[in-house]
Structure 1
Amino acid sequence: MPLYLTEAVVLSSMDFGESDKIVTFYTISFGKLKGIAKGAKRSKKRFGINLEPFSLVTLHFFEKKEDSLVRVSACDLINPFQGIRDDLFKIAYGSYMIEVVEKLAPERERHPELFKLLTDFLGILEARGVTEDLLRVFEVRLLDDLGLKPHLSDCVICHTPFNSGTKVRFSPEKGGTLCNRCVKGLSTIPVSIGTLKTLEMAIKIEPLKIPRLIFSREVRDESREILRGFIRFHTGSVLKSLEFIEKIKDIK
């Protein structure tokens, strides 16, 4: 029975039975994995915060053919992202990042670029905090990494190109932008050409330049609405972390 090692971010952790925990990881080598850590509730010395959300760890695990969950044998802490844990607003935004990864990423499908995206943005969040603009960049790059990027360049149905004066609508159901001729009977969201160009740029921009991005108010509002609608369509639900973000917005 081989033992596997891989870097991983803990996405979620829940108690199971009297002494165990079921943990969901996003790993660099295996994609999303779910595992059971036997005795984790009782042995705080063995695991500590290593199985708590946000922790970047080296995961040691093995598999049994008859089990759907991998068996966690050890977890070595690399980075607890303590600066996130110590701030309510960073917890809220970080929780959204890991929840959207958990909801959208398929199990056992390797996407090392997604792992880097997640760890990079957790690092930005810890060091600087994350604005709504950066969350939109995270969302659109996440969708791109998973092969789910919305179609933004022309009409997703008839492929009519858009010009600066075109009235454009976005359809989560159809997976992208629509011209006026193709919009009939569909639930859509209005979006400007400027927002579409900004989102395309957000996918291509060099990682070091990402923290410098500042959206206009129009781009911020439109991109929030279309990306949240698109993610909701793919997950089938409103994410709990989004509800938490809305609740604490007025505290500042």
Structure 2
Amino acid sequence: MSQAQPAEFAGIVFFRRNYRERDLLVKILTDRFGFKMFFIRGARKRGFRLNAAILPFVQAEYVGSVSEDGLSFINAAKEVTQYRQILNNIELNAYVSYIFELANAAFGEAKPLGGWFKQLQQAVLLIDQGIDPAIITNIIEIRLLTYFGVQPNLHDCVICHRTDEVFDFSESYGGLICRRHWSVDPHRLQLDRRTVYFLQFFSQVDLFKIHSIKVSQTTKNHLRRTLNRIYDNQVGLKLKSRRFLEEMKIWPI
């Protein structure tokens, strides 16, 4: 086991769980080390001095000791920011949990995320500011596909490369096919134009330039079914957090 090294880093708390009688294990998305698990001794004691900095979906600048392949430790925190809307809303909390769990599955443990830390940080900020969490989640899902070895062509027809046609999505051909070639795949997804448009748009939109975005509920439902099918069939990933989101949709009001 490697020795823990002193480090300062930015991070967003992913989750925490009880460990022994008074301690916590806290997983944090960090800017330098990716997803890391931290052992926080005495964190369940009343009045613990770092309590505000280790709540779920809190962002801070941390000082601690980071181990390459074992538990890491936090000694201090500053510039603590709470995403209050997410903390106080179970649905927003569920969406962010899914985004983080998906990213954790894509990148693995303790692997630097490069520019993806800022992308995920911006996604959390947008959701906290009231941008539709389902749409932000769709954007992240589409962008992360490549890290699972799935790179659907959403730019043009995979067969003739035309960009000026009506498209549908073909799992067999790995992307969009234009209507001239629909006959080659009888199992194409039968997507409507709006759904295809947003799949294309979400694959290239800059999260840092989003100020508002409106998508009809019908189109959101179609996007959800499409991405579920891609993740189920091509990625083979079924996360607990996604199942929880789906269960929430049928809760009695």
TM over 0.5: yes
| CA distance in structure 2 between the aligned counterparts of 1:24 and 1:148, rounded to whole angstroms | 27
Decide whether the 8 Å contact of 2:154 with 2:203 is kept in 1: no
| CA distance in structure 2 between the aligned counterparts of 1:80 and 1:234, rounded to whole angstroms | 36
Report the counterpart of residue 102 of structure 2 in structure 1: 100
Counting only pairs closer than 5 Å after superposition, residues 1-252 of structure 1 correspond to structure 2 as: 2-42=5-45, 44-63=47-66, 68-76=70-78, 78-143=80-145, 149-154=151-156, 159-161=159-161, 164-165=165-166, 167-170=168-171, 176-177=175-176, 183=185, 189-192=189-192, 194-216=194-216, 219-232=219-232, 236-249=236-249, 250-251=251-252
Flag the 1:112–1:147 CA change in 2: closer, same or farther, 3 A. Answer: farther
Task: Give the AA of the match of 1:126.
Answer: D
Aligned residues: CA RMSD:
3.4
Task: Give the AA of the match of 2:30.
Answer: T
Give the paired residue count.
245
TM superposition score normalised by structure 1: 0.76
| CA distance in structure 1 between the aligned counterparts of 2:58 and 2:193, rounded to whole angstroms | 39
Structure 1 unmatched runs, 5+: none
Flag the 1:44–1:233 CA change in 2: closer, same or farther, 3 A. Answer: farther
TM superposition score normalised by structure 2: 0.76
Structure 2 unmatched runs, 5+: none
| CA distance in structure 1 between the aligned counterparts of 2:252 and 2:241, rounded to whole angstroms | 16
- Superposed displacement of residue 58, structure 1: 1.7
- Superposed displacement of residue 24, structure 1: 1.7
| CA distance in structure 2 between the aligned counterparts of 1:129 and 1:166, rounded to whole angstroms | 28
Identity %, equivalent residues: 21
- Superposed displacement of residue 6, structure 1: 0.7
- Superposed displacement of residue 217, structure 1: 5.5
**SS of residue paired to 1:45:** coil
- Superposed displacement of residue 153, structure 1: 3.2
Flag the 1:148–1:20 CA change in 2: closer, same or farther, 3 A. Answer: farther
Flag the 1:64–1:117 CA change in 2: closer, same or farther, 3 A. Answer: closer
